Amino acid sequence: MTCASGSESTLGPTSVLTTSQYWRQSTPQALRQQIARRIAQPGAKEEVAKAISNERLQFKTLWNRSLPINQLPYELLVYIFILLHPTVTVGPYVGVLTSSREIFQPTLELMATCRLWRDVIVDTPAFWSVVVPERWNAKWTEFSLARSRSAPIEVWARVWPDRPRFAYPLVHRIRRLYFYFRVNIALPSVDNSGKDWLFQLLCGTQVPAMPALEVLELETTHDERAQTRGKTPNDVNLSQQRLPRLRSLTLTGIPAPRDAALYADLHTLSLTSCSHSLSIDQFLDALALCTRLKTLCLHETLDRLSEDWKQRDPVPRRPPIHFPYLDSLEVSQHGSVCTSRFLSHIHVRASAQLEISTRDHTRVPTHRDAGASILLLAGGMVPPNHAATLAPLATVTDVDVSTCWSCDWGIGPAWFSVARTGTGATDTTVTARMSMNMTRADWGARRGWVRGLVELLGRAPVTTLLVDHVDSRPDSVADWAAVFRAFPRLECLVVCASEYAQDSDGAVGIERMFLGLHAASVSATATATATRTGACSPAAVACPHLKRSGVGGSATMTVYEAIRTCIVYRGRQGVVLEELELYLTRCCGDLSPALGG
């Protein structure tokens, strides 16, 4: 930084730096030089020390104001503060805010940096728009509301009986409302206060509508005693008339809205443990209005509709519901049949992410009407018309299949997910993960899941296949051959035998997998030879791009022979397996002689 012209002549040798005009015109470098000269000048020590002390405060102020960040317009400075501390502005939060300190601590730290930053924050209503009413700090709530002026506010409330009803006069300003309360038998006054406050705010006749509300999150928890005594949450009766701008609705333990018009403009809908007064068709009709929906989460709520999903046809007669902007679909904690029936009504676009799971203790073999062999592959959750409804299945590049074994007669939830990573056309990976949940009693029912894999993902450009806990029971050579014929782009194959299966079962499973790959290659070569003249090209071999393979589990010499036969034949056709990793236990012999031919 350079000294401003003429700054040296504005001061005499013994003058005191007190004129604000000089401080505005000088640069920090010039002021630093002037202060250094003053320290070396003769004079009364007390007078000089006092003058220098004042000068340093002014110098610090000017120095802070001369920094590049403080030369920016206030609007850009506010934007930078928001980037540094996203929680100071309107937006999604991680977790639940329980005190004003959580939200205002970053703001207070910024205010303590310098006067300019303090002034910017104090004069910007957006930094005071989040209100966390606290019974022990009501003055802070009033202080925040005063500084927020007329800006939209967000209210995060945990109800206490003595909390003031501050929000009633401010309903026209509330843009986001998070409301949590617990139904407790021991504290009925707390429960009634919470519900009365909520009901009056959202649907009370004496409280005006909430025209600015865009995000509403209501959560309640209650114990079993509360349910048996009829103290579960009442219906808040949400309506589009009172909430005309609602875009995001998250309910937990609250009855789902009956007003179908309320669903029409939603971008986010999340229902957890919500009861319904609607029938299945009425609920589907309400969802059909959600043409702008981007996120749909349904947890333990579908089977609470007024009808039984088991009475519905596996493939519905009504056309599927289309969500043209849906980015994420999550359906969890329902029975297999309920999940399958619901998904058969929904068309999910190809770029969306899926996460589907059943609730605990869902016995897979009891729901065979949910869809043939796919039932065993994905716990019965995938509908028979999945090709017409679940478009993400046709985009999968990586497949990860696992079996969750249990040594007792209980069973855990099955799950199925499709996730997308990457943004470009060439670096995008779509991974499908699925699990089967089996006990020892279910081993015999697993036959056919390999064929189900082909039926489920046969149209997808699969390049990676990982199969965990394979054994001899579910698959045959023909089943595996069908897999390799269905996935011609396969580049990586990893198979591990089940640790709970007997050694012979695991070895036979691995053997059949390689025999299936060999059979598919021989069949492809024979077909190509019969239709062409001359030598067969490598493209005629099944999975011509397969370069890496991994095998884990126990093995016998027959396994080694199957591996050798497959690798040698493919090599003679010009397709070389570049990498083979073996993680074998209880091996009977050495692999080298088997592969030496």
Give 298's DSSP letter. Answer: E
Q: What is the pLDDT of residue 42?
A: 63
Segment 573-583, tens digit of pLDDT: 889 899 998 88
In this structure, the dihedral spanned by the alpha carbons of residues 513, 518, 523 and 524, taken in order and rounded to 10 degrees, is 100
- 33 and 2 in contact (C-beta within 8 Å)? no
Quote the strand ranges of 324-444, DSSP E: 328-334, 346-347, 353-358, 398-406, 415-421, 429-439
Give the DSSP H/E element, type plus range, for residue 409: none
Structure tokens at 62: 């000017």
Indicate if the alpha-carbon torsion angle 122, 127, 133, 137 is positive or negative: negative
**Has residue 322 got a pLDDT over 60?**
yes
Q: Which of 294-298, 422-426, 524-528 has the largest mean confidence?
A: 294-298
pLDDT of residue 387: 87
What are the DSSP E strand ranges found in 444-578? 464-470, 492-497, 548-554
Asked if residues 371 and 340 have their Cβ atoms less than 8 Å apart, the reply is: yes
pLDDT tens track for 528-586? 555 554 445 555 789 999 999 998 877 778 888 888 899 999 998 889 899 998 887 75
DSSP 390: B
Q: Is the pLDDT of residue 481 over 50?
A: yes
Give the mean pLDDT of 427-451: 67
- Predicted TM-score (pTM) of the model is 0.77
The single-letter DSSP state of residue 93 is -
- Tell me the pairing of strands 321-322 and 130-131: unpaired
The token pair at 251 is: 């309910």
β-pairing verdict for 415-421 and 328-334:
unpaired
Q: Answer yes or no: are the C-beta atoms of 575 and 546 closer than 8 Å.
A: yes
Q: What is the DSSP string of 573-593?
A: TT----EEEEEEES--S-HHH
The pLDDT score that the predictor gives to residue 484 is 93
The whole-number pLDDT of residue 344 equals 92
Q: Is the pLDDT of residue 187 over 50?
A: no
Under 8 Å between Cβ of 548 and 579: yes
* 38-52, 65-79, 267-281, 424-438, range with the lowest pLDDT: 38-52
- Integer Cα distance of 235 and 412 in angstroms: 33
Q: What is the mean pLDDT of the chain?
A: 74
Q: What is the mean pLDDT of residues 90-118?
A: 64
All residues at 6 or more sequence positions from 29 whose CB lies less than 8 Å from its CB, including other chains: 1, 2, 3
Average pLDDT, integer, range 201-209: 70
Highest mean pLDDT among 69-78, 87-96, 223-232, 435-444: 69-78
Residue with the bigger pLDDT between 190 and 157: it is 157
pLDDT at position 465 = 94
